[in-house]
Amino acid sequence: MKKLKIAVQKSGRLHDESLKMLKDCGIAIDNGRDQLKASAKNFPMEIYYLRNGDIPQYLIDGVVDCAIIGENLLIEKGSDIAIAERLGFSKCRVSLAVSKIFEYDSIADLKGKRIATSYPETTRRYLAEKGIEADLHIINGSVEIAPNIGLADAICDIVSSGSTLFKNNLKEVEVILKSEAVLAVSPSIPKALEAILDKLRFRIQSVLKGRDSRYVLLNAPNDKLEAVMAILPGMRSPTVLPLAQEGWSSIHSVVDQDVFWEVINQLKDAGAEGILVCPIEKMVL
């Protein structure tokens, strides 16, 4: 059987979270020490550990069939590559930053300035959209030091928490784009492997839906069931089971994590008691 070739970052946070996603999808990887390629034991897949910046070209050339990669890098080096799934981790943004003493009012203040960046194409497109001409200095590595050593007036780089900017006396002034890890697919993936890719996507979707949801069990008096159920629609409708105590029922449902605390407060106000909340490992729709 043919195997799906997937690329992941060789090392770093995206590497760890990518492997965790595959593990949560039930894919066991036979990974030896310092290997650049490994096979899955229970899924038709080969994992390639590659340098992050090389992955878009491997996708374009069809060396790998898909990859877990930061959207920011895909936009910079492989804008024609399709995104199959957004994975919800390794979130960051690509931003412009200047020294804290730089008097910045608008993007027009960067006209004619020197901007250091590891994302020249992304930066160039953004400046062109804004009608700004600037002098780009391409740097691989510690971009944030450029203003401090007089190499540039501003930088364009990825920002997560902002702590690196703070440590280097920089301030974020423009967010160019927001990014997260994505499952990207080669434009030349063989037809024979599309069914395997669909199985992988199905597993990923089940994991992501589980992460975004909570399983809720609660008790409520029967005369308040209608009010409680109106708050808990569930995937189709809540499950209602009679309790041993007459006049009471147990209600089971699923709540989106984003609105969880608001819903819990509404349930209490509607008469729910003994509310139990459980994480969901996977949710198959």
CATH number, residue 186: 3.40.190.10
Number of domains in the chain: 3
- Work out whether strand 4-9 and strand 66-70 pair parallel, antiparallel, or are unpaired: parallel
- On whether both 246 and 256 belong to a single domain, the answer is yes
**Per-residue pLDDT tens digits for 186-230:** 999 999 999 999 999 999 999 999 888 889 999 999 999 888 888
| Residue 284 placed within a domain | no
What is the per-residue pLDDT across 137-159, written as a single tens digit (0 to 9) for each?
998 878 889 888 888 999 999 99
| Same domain? 142 vs 267 | no
Same domain for 201 and 229, yes or no, is: no
Round to whole Å and give the CA distance between 276 and 52: 42
Residue 233 has pLDDT above 70, yes or no: no
Pair (149, 137) in one structural domain: yes
* Average pLDDT value for residue range 47-59: 93
How many angstroms separate the CA atoms of 135 and 186, rounded? 33
- pTM listed for this prediction: 0.84
Q: State which residues form the domain around 40.
A: 4-89+180-210
Q: What is the pLDDT of residue 160?
A: 87
Query: Of the ranges 87-96, 200-209, 234-243, 263-272, which one carries the lowest mean pLDDT score?
Result: 234-243
Alpha carbon 263 to its chain centroid, in Å, reads 25
Together in a domain, 23 and 139 = no
Burial tier of 90 (Cβ tally within 10 Å: 0-12, 13-18, 19+): buried
What are the pLDDT digits (tens) for 66-123?
Answer: 999 999 999 998 778 999 999 999 999 999 999 999 999 999 999 999 999 999 999 9
Token pair listed for 252: 């089971």
* Residue 29 in this model has a pLDDT that exceeds 70: yes
CATH number, domain at 242? 3.30.70.120
Does residue 232 carry a pLDDT above 90? no
122 and 262 within one domain: no
Among 115, 148, 154, 152, CA closest to 134 = 115
